[in-house]
Structure 1
Amino acid sequence: MTTHSSPAQITLRSPAELADALPYLMGFHPDDSIVLVALQGERGRFGGRLRLGIPRDRAEWSDVAAQLAECLIGGSERRGARPTGVIAFLCQDADGAGEEPRQVMDRLRPLAQRLRMACGRLDVPVVEALCISSGRYWSYCCPDVTCCPPEGAPLTPPGTSPMAAAATYAGIQVRGSLREMEARLAPVSGPPARLAAQEKALDEAAAALVPRILGAADRDAVGEDTLALAGRLLARLRAAPRTGADDAAAEEDARDDELVSDEEAATVVLGLQDRGTRDRAAEWMEGPAAAAALRLWRLLARRCVGAFDEHAAAPLTLAGWTAWSAGDEATARVALAAALRADEEYAFARLLHDAVNEGLDPEPLRASLRKQRAGRRHQARRDPVRGGE
């Protein structure tokens, strides 16, 4: 099996090398996850990949396996490249309540079997299925105890494998664990009084803005006010640069949170519930504004507390879009999955999530948004009153 990370190329020949490659394929360590990776061509080049949390209810495993197989193989076929094989990864650490990693492997074996059967029914074999738990891996397919012993084998120490060297050469980053990435998007925690103050601000913003958004006469004015405030917050964040180090992310996110008041966050969150306003906010997708925009959308998602948790779908989707536009597919996948957990019917998040998973190019959407912005500016020059930014 071959992975291409231009200009580097590396061939993976063993379960150990596949287990080591997983974080580099995904861009993060996918804890509590099913990951399926498509193989393309005679040499088994890595193609599309899917990730889903492992369902706690075993009764769901058969349906989930069938859906994942159909999504991966069907998506590959729509792109004109039917997979020649699939690699399955089951990633879950021991629960800390006396369960051993080998017991995790045994517990998940029926799920691995269901994944193999689901892919097989579509005439695509699972050529390897691995369980990764608490620093060790097991193969559900390899019978050779010299390379895959019953007690499992230790994962390669981080940064010491050929895959790690190739990834470093290609500029590929592993952004911590999935759990850590999701924590950056989750509602803030803290003293009850602090959370109550943010929820009160959201309540007041909803009472003030929702009737205006629903009323045609005032909707555009709310959008303009929302975007103007978001622009000021972007400038504020850009003036407070970050190191960008993953190990400082939580601390730097906390500093970002201090820069935006409850009332400011609530006003922008409620304003972004309007689709037109959200689509204009998506234009902060490239150039100097993009990094600050990603920080702002994460921040706003964290402020969607209490009864307003579903409102996080809009800023989470914008975070996913901004990350995807910037080439950070790992962050995009996590943010868009979080948006769909907040509101499974949120159409923009669903479209973007499918596009990222199918390996599409974000440039057509960027071009559309640029055209939208240029058209609005042209209208502003012709009619400053009606077309102004």
Structure 2
Amino acid sequence: MASTSHPESPLDRPGDLIAALPAVLGFVPEKSIVVVTAADDEMGAILRADLADPRVPHLAEMAATAGAEAVIAVIVDDEGAGCPMCADEHRELAHELTVELARWGVELLAAHVVDVVAAGGTWVCADGCGASGRVEDPSASPVAAAAVLDGRRLYARRDELVEVVAVADPQRSAELAAMIEQAGPLDGDRAGALARSDIEHALACAEQLAAGTALRDEQTVRLARSLTDPRVRDTLYALAVGDRAGVAESLWADLSRRLPSPWRVEALVLLAFSAYARGDGPLAGISLDAALTCAPLHRMAGMLDQALQSGMRPEQIRELARTGYRLASQLGVRLPPRQAFGRRAG
């Protein structure tokens, strides 16, 4: 698995490449296989799977879907670099990935095994070529610096990122479920004025939460029910590109942690869209995983997940918000003005 030579590309510097993974993934990978796609000598989509269930054919298909010309694999195993008995397992995994990628016309340039993604971690090549080295400091990675400047939080473990959208109090969520069910479903033919009122209510709730005041139960119940109205939900997607996007995103995160299934699904997808639009792929991915677990056939969640997996850029996703502004105009709702995204946001 010889790597091509591109002196200016971090793809040829395993220590730097591995150090950049936490900033790209949003957390420090452990017991994982990470597939770094590349095209035109530039890093593309990053795919990760648990080492216990690597789903190699799926990884290969997703890499091809992302437009990869080649990939580099990083096997993160704390028993890896210094474990002779593990070498065969890692070599077999790299070989399986080579075969599956070849089915899609994608080349595996290199496969590295690293014991820990941290400064001073040790990496070796998976095929026994003899190459090895040290991992650079992830906190000093240019990719990490860019992530921090973009306002992204980096997590020590994937579990910490998952907690951002996990239900915080199952018993309390069950109580809310009973209240929502008692209120009943919305009338499918209800007037546009009611949809407009619900959108304005969501905007007010976001500002209230931002001011430090928790939502009351009746507000939460109304939000949960109103998000089942496509006009309300689709209009609120526009908030992801408005100048109060952070305030709105905090509301979706709060609802994701407090609402029960199935009502939390729409909050999760709104959170995913907002995170994706500002370039936070890790949070978008975790939110979509949770949404698709609740509702595997959710159309918007599936579309965003496919876009994320294929490496679609945030600026392309932001174009979907135009529909929200158009609906708001039709309903007579004034939304926050669109914000100007810098180059790094895309």
Match of 1:367 in 2: 322
- Distance in 1 (CA, whole Å) between partners of 2:36 and 2:90 is 18
Deviation at 1:186, TM superposition (A): 0.4
* Residue among 69, 90, 98 paired with 2:75: 90
- Distance in 1 (CA, whole Å) between partners of 2:86 and 2:183 is 51
- Distance in 2 (CA, whole Å) between partners of 1:18 and 1:52 is 18
- Matched residue SS, 2:139: coil
Match of 1:143 in 2: 128
Instruction: Pick closer, same or farther for the CA change 1:370–1:218 going to 2, 3 Å.
Output: closer
Instruction: Pick closer, same or farther for the CA change 1:332–1:110 going to 2, 3 Å.
Output: same
Deviation at 1:278, TM superposition (A): 1.6
Match of 1:231 in 2: 203
Amino acid at match of 1:180: E
- Matched residue SS, 1:279: helix
Q: Please report the TM-score for the alignment, with normalisation by the length of structure 2.
A: 0.78
- Matched residue SS, 1:216: coil
Of structures 1 and 2, the one scoring higher in RCO (CA 8 A, sep 6+) is 2
Question: Is the 2:22–2:28 contact (alpha carbons within 8 Å) kept by the matching residues of 1?
Answer: yes
Amino acid at match of 2:27: F
- Matched residue SS, 1:375: helix
Match of 2:159 in 1: 179
- Matched residue SS, 1:49: strand
- Distance in 1 (CA, whole Å) between partners of 2:10 and 2:208 is 46
Unmatched segments (≥5 aa) in structure 1 = 3-8, 77-82, 190-194, 241-257, 379-389
Q: What percentage of aligned pairs have identical amino acids?
A: 22
- Distance in 1 (CA, whole Å) between partners of 2:247 and 2:60 is 37
- Matched residue SS, 2:27: coil
Match of 2:45 in 1: 48
* Residue among 69, 75, 91 paired with 2:60: 69
Task: Please give the residue correspondences for 1:1-389 in structure 2 after superposition, counting only pairs within 5 Å.
Answer: 11-41=10-40, 44-54=41-51, 56=53, 61=54, 64-76=55-67, 83-91=68-76, 102=83, 109-135=91-117, 136-141=121-126, 143-145=128-130, 147-148=131-132, 155-160=135-140, 164-165=141-142, 167-168=144-145, 171=149, 173=152, 175-176=154-155, 177-189=157-169, 195-210=170-185, 213=186, 215-218=187-190, 223-224=195-196, 226-240=198-212, 259-304=214-259, 308-358=260-310, 359-360=312-313, 361-377=316-332
Question: Is the 1:91–1:132 contact (alpha carbons within 8 Å) kept by the matching residues of 2?
Answer: yes
- Spell out, residue by residue over 1:214-244, the C-alpha distance to the aligned partner (whole angstroms, 9 max, x if none): x43447676455434322211112323xxxx
More helix by share: 1
Instruction: Pick closer, same or farther for the CA change 1:92–1:11 going to 2, 3 Å.
Output: closer
- Distance in 2 (CA, whole Å) between partners of 1:100 and 1:140 is 9
- Distance in 2 (CA, whole Å) between partners of 1:93 and 1:223 is 53
Taking only aligned residues, the RMSD between alpha carbons, in angstroms, comes to: 3.4
Question: How many residue pairs get matched?
Answer: 319
Q: Please report the TM-score for the alignment, with normalisation by the length of structure 1.
A: 0.70
Question: Is the 1:198–1:262 contact (alpha carbons within 8 Å) kept by the matching residues of 2?
Answer: no
Deviation at 1:340, TM superposition (A): 1.7
- Distance in 2 (CA, whole Å) between partners of 1:290 and 1:104 is 47
